[in-house]
Amino acid sequence: MKTNFIICLFAFLTYSLNSIGQVQNTYPYPSSANVGLGTIITSSVTNNFEYKLSVKGILYPIGEETQIATIPFRIIAEDWQPASIMEPGLTDLLSEAFVFPKGESIDESVRVYSLYKNGSLVLGEVSNSLIPTNSSGFAPIFGLISDNSIHSKSDIYSDNKIGIGTTNPATALDIHNGNVTLNDNKIFLRADGFHYLSFDNSFAGATFDGPLLTGYSSGILGTTDMGEKAILYWSSNGRVGINTTTPSSEFEVNGDVTFGGSNPDDLIKFESHTGYRRISFNDLRLHEFSFGDVLTINNGNLGVNNSNPNEKLDITGNLRISNAANEDVLTVWNTSSSSLNFKVKGDGRVYAREIEVMLGAFPDYVFDEDYKLMNLSELDVYIKKNKHLPGIESAESIDQNGLGLGELSRIQMEKIEELTLYLIDQNKMIEKLQERVLELENKR
């Protein structure tokens, strides 16, 4: 009776102390003992490790204000170094959980989680190679390691794939409805370090401020809309091809090239068509900074040193054409009859069907009454002295300086008209002599 009273008193005091909020357990469970709920096995035979709390069954507490199951314990650590069940040498562990099949030994357990002091959380049986060791032992450095899926309700999902903004990623990394910021880092397309996309400011000795895409030996920008098609190709030999993967020069375009702006007169188009090539434009000018327009093509006319050509070829300045002596340097054909009408040889010979010379003053002045015609006696003296007719350059001068065709025609006409006057005078003298002869014959 006395013993029962003491036990009841002890229970009452314990209940009273807990009811008034006593935070310190006056009668803690002995540190050398273990507690088993639903089991009497509180140690590992293989590792000879004692467990303070062993539970067989389901921990399912009911809160006072909710019917949702809650975690039945919390961990508060201060300078403690508990050892791990599966890695006894580990000293940074806070909490861990293992499960084993019913009827099997606890030594057949599989990791559920391990929580470490530095905040790292390991889920599942992750290979130890993912959790590096250091001089102090087993020390994970990752925030979260798992060999199973990691699923966030709103933004990330992993099942050998990672989805951000989607729970159904189609590729290894699938990002929906958001941007990706590299912060001056690189996206490596291959682990060799030669193929990457980055934002940089220097490459190959050049300075810039923008995106950089590199490849080891070559690269392609392509489309797959109607099958695989290479739009832009480049290689390590410095060649670039557009619409071709085999450029034969530093820059090769397989197709048309158009340069243009808001002004249609600025349009230049390089076109590639079956059977021919062409360059089309509205107004083309080659401009020299210190001189001006040296070549202009406008309205089908070509101007050289002429910015407003009015003919098919309009040249301001000299024209030089060179060729061998017996070769043609210039030919003119009749488009309707396809006949050659004009030709210039390299030695200066000119062939033409007809030449029309425009003279400024035709020599009809010879017939003016005040024209001074040298008499034949004076002409005879002049010719003997100068070896050429009056008004005509010497042969030596013509050899050196030439003589214009128009000037030659004028001089020839002048001499012909002078000769005509001489003939008229001679005829008059002949007629007078004939009259004198008749008179003398009639007197006989």
Q: Is residue 164 part of a domain?
A: no
Structural element, H or E, at residue 38: none
Q: Is the pTM of this model over 0.85?
A: no
Q: Do residues 222 and 271 share a domain?
A: yes
- Check whether residue 282 and residue 344 sit in a common domain: no
- Residue 409 forms part of a structural domain: yes
Q: Give me 396's structure tokens.
A: 């030596």
Q: Looking at residue 66, what is its pLDDT? A: 38
Residue 232 lies in a domain: yes
Domain co-membership, 222 together with 309:
yes
Which residue range forms the structural domain that includes residue 406? 357-442
Assigned domain for 250 exists: yes
SS3 at position 133: strand
Number of compact structural domains in the chain: 3
- pLDDT value of position 109: 62
| Residue 230 CB-half CA count within 13 A | 16
Q: Are strands 313-315 and 301-304 parallel, antiparallel or unpaired?
A: parallel
Q: How far apart are CA 294 and CA 305, in angstroms?
A: 4
Q: What pLDDT sits at residue 424?
A: 93
Residue 7 forms part of a structural domain: no
Per-residue pLDDT of the chain (444 residues), as tens digits, is 544 444 444 444 444 444 444 444 444 555 567 777 777 776 655 555 566 667 666 555 444 443 333 344 444 444 444 445 445 555 566 666 666 555 555 555 666 677 776 666 776 665 444 444 444 444 444 556 666 666 665 666 666 778 887 778 888 888 887 788 878 788 888 878 888 888 888 888 889 888 888 888 889 899 988 889 999 999 999 999 999 999 999 999 888 777 766 666 556 666 666 656 666 666 777 777 777 788 888 888 888 888 888 888 888 888 888 888 889 988 998 888 889 989 999 888 888 888 887 777 788 889 998 999 999 999 999 999 999 999 888 989 988 988 888 888 888 999 999 999 999 999 999 999 999 999 888 887
Indicate whether 326 and 305 sit together in one domain. no
